[in-house]
Amino acid sequence: MSQDYSGEIVATVHLNLEALRLAYKTTCDALRNWPGGDPLEQQFLAESKDQLFRCLLEQSFEMEAG
C-alpha cells in the first residue's frame, strides 16, 4: 500500500484475466441490483465498473498487439 498525492492510502491489486472479468461482472451485477441507500455507494460501483472495463479493454489491446 502507498499514499497518493492527497494523502489517501492506495492499494494495488493484481488479477489474472479470468478474475478481472469476474470482478467486472460482479460489479455490474451489484450496480444493476443496487437496492438504494448511500448514493456514494452507487457512485463507487459506477466508477469501479468504468475502471474495470478500461482494464479489460487494455488487456484486449495488449493481447492483440502482443
> How does pLDDT run across 14-66, given as a tens digit for each residue?
999 999 999 999 999 999 999 999 999 999 999 999 999 999 999 888 877 86
Quick one: pLDDT at residue 53?
A: 95
* Extents of the domains making up the chain: 15-65
Quick one: pLDDT at residue 8?
A: 82
Quick one: pLDDT at residue 63?
A: 79
The residues, ordered by sequence, that sit 6+ positions from 16 with a Cβ below 8 Å of its Cβ are none
Quick one: pLDDT at residue 9?
A: 83
CA dist 64 and 55 (Å) reads 14
Helix (H, G, I), strand (E, B) or coil at 7: coil
The residues, ordered by sequence, that sit 6+ positions from 30 with a Cβ below 8 Å of its Cβ are 45
